[in-house]
Amino acid sequence: MGHSPTSAVVVTNSAGLVTYLGVANAADGTVGVLANDGHGNFNSVGLANVGQFEEFSAPVQALATADVNGDGKPDFVAATGYNEDVTELLGYPQVLAMQNPVSLTNAENVIDGYFTGNGSALSNLNASQITSGTLSLSQLPVGVPLLSSNQTFTGQNIFSANNNYFYGNFEGSATISSFFGRAGGLTGLNASQLTFGTIPLAAIPTPTVVTNSAGGVTLSGTFSGNGVGLTNVWQTTGNTGTTAGVNYLGTADNQPLELHVDGGRALRIEPTSSGTGVPNIIGGYSGNLEDNGSQGVTIGGGGASGYVNHVSASLGTITGGSGNTINTNGNDSTIGGGRQNTVDLDAWGAVIGGGHGNWIQADNNGGGGLGNSSYSTISGGFGNVVGTNAINATIGGGGINTNSGNYATIPGGYENLASGNYGFAAGDNAEATNNGAFVWSDSSGTLTKSFTNNQFMARASGGVVFLTGTAGSPASYATGSAGVALLPNATAWTSVSDRNAKKNFAPVNTEAVLDKLAAIPIQQWNYKWESDKDVPNIGPMAQDFKKAFYPGRDDRGISTLEFDGVELAAIQGLNQKLNEKDAQIQTLKRQNDSLAQRLTELEVTVKQLAPQK
């Protein structure tokens, strides 16, 4: 140990056994320490440099041991040259001995002082002597319980004190005489041992049905599963064994029932203010509404922001669409759909089927009851109006039509007017302004307007055709099918007379026709519905006429075709007779001319003979 030892000292224990040997070295100014390994062998355990003097090492001249600091443990005292100093090595030789690994196997070895460095190889330590510092969790052996961490207990662990407290969660099984605190991690508990206390609903596992016959149970949160076995609930797959009037979905107080879709209201069933009337059903846009204390209102759907469907009359119905309105006292009225259609004040039982901007106007007779615009109908179209006080008026569709007559009808078309009661206007720009007038106007754009009551007027600048048979439509006015035609700009009817449309041709004895016609009585007369002051009509009776010319046909009327045929045949018969008479007249004329010539000649002869007498 060191160089050039000059002296040595020993350290003994209470039994007089040398435990350490100290050596003073002159050459390098160090103190070496050797430790007894318990078998009489001394091994080097440390070297202390105590003689350092500037760039030189002061030799250690002498070395002694003594308890310098009074701690009951030997210390080294070294005297050095050059610097003339004395160095106290407190805690030596224990400190030097611990600076290098050493194996002390003799039980008599006693180590004083303290250890530094890694003590992982120490064994048989006395835990009661740990007086400072904190052990890390990893230094505790398995099975040591911790207050602030999850623990796993194995084997049988008995906690007998009455004041043991446990925090955290338990796992596995436990036998506990009494327990305080949380046991959230315990499993395999015996439910039959729960002898007091109440289990909170939140601690009951699902699926579980909770009942409380005394006061009921309030269930919150989210339910899952198919609900099999639950009673008094409606299942998503349907219920069986229900009784109408006993089992129902809805409210039992004077509060509305709402169905929502995607977080918004889609259907609202609301009681009336008294709770005893007919409920209102409001579907579609959440802003759709009924008001004015109405009952039995139905809004099937539709509506939008700024275009709500609105009913202010009892038993009013808006099926859908947007911006549609049934106003006050429009009871029992209906709007089927469309956009911005209105049934106005006091128009009871009115109907607008759809379309856009159609309007059944208000009663103008004071209101408050059955209005004179009631029971009117606009089936559709746009901008159509049933005017004020037009009861039971009808507009079938089209656009910009106005019906202000009671029981009047506009089936459609454009810009037609029916202002007379029971009138009818159709087409384009037709006006039935008189009661009972029927007016049809074509697409020429010319106003066609009635001018007297109960008039039938029709404008057809392309002509009028009436077909009375089942053959196809004719290619022209005079051919192709049974019927008659009024040609464009014509003032008389044209009937079909095409040779190609006829058959069963046979000659007619026109003189016989003339004779029969001449034999038919011709009289003047009035129809029974005419006034006695009316100018009489002249003509035959149908019975006489049909018997003479068309036996077997209906004998209560004569058609123009029937009369025209007889008339033409009679004219030909008359013409034939006239020709015969003319021939006879010509013969007689020739004879008369001959006689006249002979007479003239005779007179001449007589005159010539007279002077001879």
What is the SS3 assignment for 192-215?
HHCCCCCCCHHHCCCCCCCCCCCC
In whole angstroms, give the CA distance from residue 33 to residue 1: 7
Q: Please say if the pLDDT value at position 177 is more than 70.
A: no
Tell me the per-residue pLDDT of 42-82, one tens digit each, with 9 for 90 and over: 777 777 776 554 444 667 777 788 777 777 777 777 777 66
pLDDT of residue 252: 84
pLDDT at position 232 is 74
* pLDDT(92) > 60: no
- On whether residue 224 sits in a domain, the answer given is no
Note the Cα 581 to chain centre separation in Å. 97
Q: Taking residues 292-316, what's their average pLDDT?
A: 94
The answer, yes or no, to whether residue 394 has pLDDT greater than 60, is yes
In sequence order, which residues have a C-beta less than 8 Å from that of residue 271 and are 6 or more positions away? 254, 255, 256, 277, 279
Rounded Cα distance between 371 and 358, Å, is 18
- Pairwise CA distance, residues 329 & 291, whole Å: 12
Task: Answer whether residue 279 shows pLDDT above 60.
Answer: yes
- Phi and psi torsions of 544, nearest 5°: -65, -45
Please indicate whether residue 344 or residue 470 has the higher confidence score (pLDDT): 344
**Strongest mean pLDDT among 119-123, 149-153, 495-499:** 495-499
Region of poorest pLDDT, from 175-189, 285-299, 441-455, 584-598 = 175-189
Among 93-102, 252-261, 393-402, the minimum mean pLDDT is found in 93-102
116 part of a folded domain: no
| Residue that terminates a domain, selected from 46, 63, 98 | 98
Is 47 within a domain? Answer: yes
Residue 247: inside a domain, yes or no?
Answer: no
* Percent of the chain whose predicted confidence (pLDDT) is above 90: 45
Which of 28, 63, 98 is the last residue before a domain boundary? 98
Encode pLDDT of 456-500 as tens digits.
999 999 999 888 887 777 777 655 678 888 889 999 988 888 888
The pLDDT assigned to 12 comes to 77
Cα–Cα distance, 130 to 451 (Å, whole number):
129
Spatial distance between the Cα atoms of 284 and 178, rounded to a whole number of angstroms: 62
Beta strands in 55-113, from DSSP E residues, in sequence order? 56-57, 60-66, 75-80, 85-89
What 3-state class would DSSP assign to 134? Answer: coil
Residue 213 has pLDDT above 70, yes or no: no
| Overall size of the chain counted in residues | 613
Residue 449 lies in a domain: no
43-47, 391-395, 532-536: range with lowest mean pLDDT: 43-47
| pLDDT tier, 151 (very low <50, low <70, confident <90, very high otherwise) | low
Q: How does the average pLDDT of the chain come out, rounded?
A: 81
99 or 506: which leads in pLDDT: 506
Whether 113 is in a domain gets the answer no
pLDDT of residue 470: 78
pTM tops 0.75, yes or no:
no
How many angstroms separate the CA atoms of 33 and 20, rounded?
7
Q: What gap in Å lies between CA 28 and CA 48, rounded to an integer?
A: 10
- Section 188-204 average pLDDT: 71
Backbone torsions φ then ψ of 560, nearest 5 degrees: -65, -35
The percent of residues in the chain predicted with pLDDT above 70, rounded, is 73
- pLDDT computed for residue 22 by the predictor: 79
The pLDDT of residue 225 is 65
Structural domain including 592 reads 510-613
* Banded pLDDT at 359 (limits 50, 70, 90): very high
**Weakest-pLDDT range from 20-34, 335-349, 360-374, 561-575:** 360-374
- Helices 560-609 and 542-549: angle between axes, nearest 10 degrees: 80
Residue that is last in its domain, among 98, 132, 153: 98
Per-residue pLDDT at 372 exceeds 90? no
Residue 13 lies in a domain: yes
Q: Mean pLDDT over residues 201-223, rounded?
A: 61
pLDDT higher than 90, residue 515: yes
Q: Could you tell me the pLDDT band of residue 446, with boundaries at 50, 70 and 90?
A: very high
State how far the alpha carbon of 169 is from the alpha carbons of 148, 151, 200, 202, in Å: 11, 9, 18, 17
pLDDT of residue 525: 96
Total structural domains within the chain: 2
- pLDDT for 150: 58
Q: Is residue 533 part of a domain?
A: yes
Q: What is the pLDDT of residue 97?
A: 43
In the predicted model, is pLDDT for residue 567 greater than 70? yes
Over residues 164-174, the mean pLDDT reads 57
Taking the C-alpha atoms of residue 417 and residue 441, their distance in angstroms, rounded to an integer, is 11
Task: State which of 157-171, 490-504, 544-558 shows the largest mean pLDDT.
Answer: 544-558
Res 514 pLDDT > 70: yes
pLDDT of residue 583: 92
Asked if 31 and 48 count as a contact pair (C-beta separation under 8 A), the reply is: yes
Find the helix packing angle between 510-519 and 542-549, rounded to 10°.
150
Least confident residue range of 70-84, 372-386, 501-515, 598-612: 70-84
